[in-house]
Structure 1
Amino acid sequence: MNKQLSVIGVPMDLGQMRRGVDMGPSAIRYAGMVERLEQLQYDIEDLGDIEIPRPEQKMEVKQDNLRNLNEIVEGSRRLAEKVDEVVESKRFPLVLGGDHSIAMGTLAGIAKHYENLGVIWYDAHGDLNTGDSSPSGNIHGMPLAVSLGIGHEKLTGIFGGGPKIKPENIVIVGARSLDEGERVLIEEKGIKVYTMHEVDRMGMTQVMEETMDYLKDRTDGVHLSLDLDGLDPSDAPGVGTPVMGGLSYRESHLAMEMLHQSKMITSAEFVEVNPILDEKNKTASVAVGLMGSLFGESLK
């Protein structure tokens, strides 16, 4: 794995309704992320936080059933430009959220550097909604669809129009809350999904082995998009949309350790840490612990 690592904070809270997730990057840094990764001999360049535009009437502006569309598009564009610069400089981009809408900008900035970018979407949700299918209009439930080129043209046009990724290059891990429109899209596009049913039945080792085998020959880079609500709320309480029955802390560490051993991850983001909803910064500390495993911490 690339030992030159650039950190980008994205204090975005416009993609959903619950306040506080904009403080996620600060909470993750406060939990000792830089020190943890420096101990693993990484060269850390912290680029600070992207400036996110604020709507005049926060959370009230809807356009085509899309909340805060223009501000999210602009914030995502700024993020895409910064991620593009990091990849161009041959460094590993590590993005800190912020709500999961930021993945649109992250993937837009990364995708131009790969022919077949793979994505591991570690999340309780599919994030495959559009303005037409979304019950809420919250854009943090749409970034995977947008990255496939599906959705409002302002979103799909971020940092260059068209799809950023291909459906056959995606694996969703840990899904347990999918809307009907998302189920239809998964079936229609043939997206590979490991729900909690598969994780429980097969075990995390087999799920990750199959995920890595599936992606290794069809992709030239793999992005990890890890939403902390993929974990069970007992392990990660500080998230905006908790869903019971999630992945355990131990399962998640195993997954990250296996990804490190595979040497296939070329970029990553950790999103939806909300310190206002958290217990003594527990969720940010979990995020940092998982980063430790992803970047090579081991008991051996």
Structure 2
Amino acid sequence: MSWSAFCVLFDPDEGRDSIQRKVQDLIKGTRPANPYRAVLDSQEVAGLDIIDCGEVQIESWLSIYPVQEDLFMLTSTNFGIFLDSDGCREYRERVRDFVKGLERPLMIGGDHSLTGGVVEALMERYEDFYLIVFDSHFDGIPSPVRNGLIGYMSETRPDYERFGYKPSDYVFSSTGRKNSYNGGSFLYHLINEGVIKAENIVVFGPLDYPTEKMEKIQDYRVREFVQVYKGLEKEGVKIVHRGIIDALGPDEAINMCISPKLRTGRAYVSVDLDIGSRSALMGAKFTDICGIKEADIYIALEGLRRNISSIIGLDLMEIDPWRAGVEIDGLKDRTYSICGNIIRILTEGKICLERRYKDVLEKISTKKTLKEIEDKESLNELVKMGFAGLSGKYVSLLYKGEILFF
């Protein structure tokens, strides 16, 4: 079955850095590459059956491409009002209506709240529907609760890794936030509105899962965060947090997600690109945390494809077009290549890599010592990407999946 691809360049980010980049683009007359076009034009999806279905229309000031006439709208106050007034819900509904006419949706876009629109549309078609989310954060926390936690973190300056993000990752409001539908809370609202049952949701990879130390903190703001998080887990949301992935490996960790019902059901896969932030790519909205390596993303996705009877849709969200695909510290970011490979592996169980890696991977499969590998530059890149591992003077092949070279 072909993919019905579309884009939604929706970006209501109230963060100062995001706003400044848009303002600077308007002043300079520049704009970042269109992430939708960059993914569909990538070598990694060449030859796949993908139908270009266009884009969902977005008001200029809420998109990654604001027009000059909307410059005055680009303020934290305006974005905050939009978010607190449940503005993201309107765009969820636009996506829902757009997807109703698509067979196997492939959404490429910005704010993760849009996933709710696809879920709502597909839930009307299928009773055996499951949502599988790859994300370094759990997007099931109501805004007032998350705002409270950010306030606590700002006051106490704890080790942010305990919480999975820094206070600066979110805009704190001393007057509180409304309980609105948005990118950080959409799972909570989908469950509470009865759109999807908690037991039909899997979240793979969150770093913000409450630790034992966190559960011992008595501050009411932390306790409320823990209660909501663990409460949704008790309701049935399957959470495979980062600690489990690091302990078991991506293949075994993903197998924990696949219940007998999911195995025979229909799965929609939603990928927040921060699942690989810093470790695999830099083109994600959140880069203050380290996600899993590129090869581990593919291993987990192939485990899904291999063990689930039907994958009926996919989205690639929270792409940062100002960093995606650009050269950073002398290396070209791989965000769009990884997006293309995610589509390919869920289509046919294969990925694509540049031909220069072929000889090195073949040698690694037969030779065991570091000195036997001549192309040290490519080897180091493959180690960083998670395809190969080093232990002292020994080298090993970590990725056993099928690779096409171009």
What TM-score, normalized by structure 1, do the two folds share? 0.81
Q: What does residue 143 of structure 1 align with?
A: 186
Q: What does residue 56 of structure 2 align with?
A: 50
Please tell me whether the aligned partners of residues 177 and 243 of structure 1 are also in contact (alpha carbons under 8 angstroms): no
Q: What does residue 196 of structure 2 align with?
A: 165
Mark the runs of 5 or more structure 2 residues left unpaired by the alignment.
23-30, 63-69, 148-170, 172-176, 210-224, 327-332, 351-401
Q: Aligned in 2, Cα 1:8/1:45: closer, same or farther, shift over 3 Å?
A: same
Does 1:289 find its partner at 2:341? yes
What is the alpha-carbon root mean square deviation over aligned residues?
2.9
Please tell me whether the aligned partners of residues 131 and 201 of structure 2 are also in contact (alpha carbons under 8 angstroms): yes
Please tell me whether the aligned partners of residues 51 and 75 of structure 1 are also in contact (alpha carbons under 8 angstroms): no
CA offsets 1:22-75 (integer angstroms, 9 cap, x no match): x899224224457644524x2x22111111134673442478x87264542222
Identity of aligned residues (%): 21
Does 1:268 find its partner at 2:284? no
Higher deviation after alignment, 66-75 or 266-275: 66-75
Please tell me whether the aligned partners of residues 95 and 269 of structure 1 are also in contact (alpha carbons under 8 angstroms): yes
Q: In structure 2, which of residues 200, 207, 224 is the aligned counterpart of residue 176 of structure 1? A: 207
Please tell me whether the aligned partners of residues 168 and 191 of structure 1 are also in contact (alpha carbons under 8 angstroms): yes
Give, in angstroms, the shift of residue 16 of structure 1: 5.1
Please tell me whether the aligned partners of residues 15 and 72 of structure 1 are also in contact (alpha carbons under 8 angstroms): no
Please tell me whether the aligned partners of residues 4 and 104 of structure 2 are also in contact (alpha carbons under 8 angstroms): yes
Which of the pair is proportionally richer in helix? Answer: 2
Partners of 1:25 and 1:52 in 2: CA distance: 17
Q: What does residue 124 of structure 1 align with?
A: 136
Matches of residues 1-300 of structure 1 in structure 2 within 5 Å? 3-14=1-12, 17=15, 18-19=18-19, 26-33=34-41, 36-40=44-48, 42=49, 44-53=50-59, 54=61, 57-58=73-74, 59-61=76-78, 67=83, 69-86=85-102, 91-135=103-147, 136=171, 139-149=182-192, 162-178=193-209, 180=226, 182-213=228-259, 215-216=261-262, 220-262=265-307, 263-278=309-324, 280=326, 282-298=334-350, 299=402
User: Which amino acid in 2 is paired with 1:145?
Assistant: Y
Please tell me whether the aligned partners of residues 80 and 109 of structure 1 are also in contact (alpha carbons under 8 angstroms): yes
Q: Secondary structure at the match of 2:144?
A: coil
CA offsets 1:75-130 (integer angstroms, 9 cap, x no match): 221111011111xxxx2100111121211212122211122421111101110122
Partners of 2:254 and 2:310 in 1: CA distance: 12
What TM-score, normalized by structure 2, do the two folds share? 0.61
Please tell me whether the aligned partners of residues 205 and 240 of structure 2 are also in contact (alpha carbons under 8 angstroms): yes
Q: Secondary structure at the match of 2:282?
A: coil
Partners of 2:235 and 2:124 in 1: CA distance: 22
Higher relative contact order (CA 8 A, sep 6+): 1
Q: Which runs of 4+ in 1 moved over 3 A?
A: 31-38, 54-59, 68-71, 178-182
Please tell me whether the aligned partners of residues 25 and 96 of structure 1 are also in contact (alpha carbons under 8 angstroms): no
Q: How many residues align structurally?
A: 277
Mark the runs of 5 or more structure 1 residues left unpaired by the alignment.
150-161
Partners of 1:202 and 1:260 in 2: CA distance: 19
Give, in angstroms, the shift of residue 282 of structure 1: 2.5
Partners of 1:78 and 1:252 in 2: CA distance: 30
Q: Aligned in 2, Cα 1:221/1:272: closer, same or farther, shift over 3 Å?
A: same
Q: Aligned in 2, Cα 1:232/1:35: closer, same or farther, shift over 3 Å?
A: closer
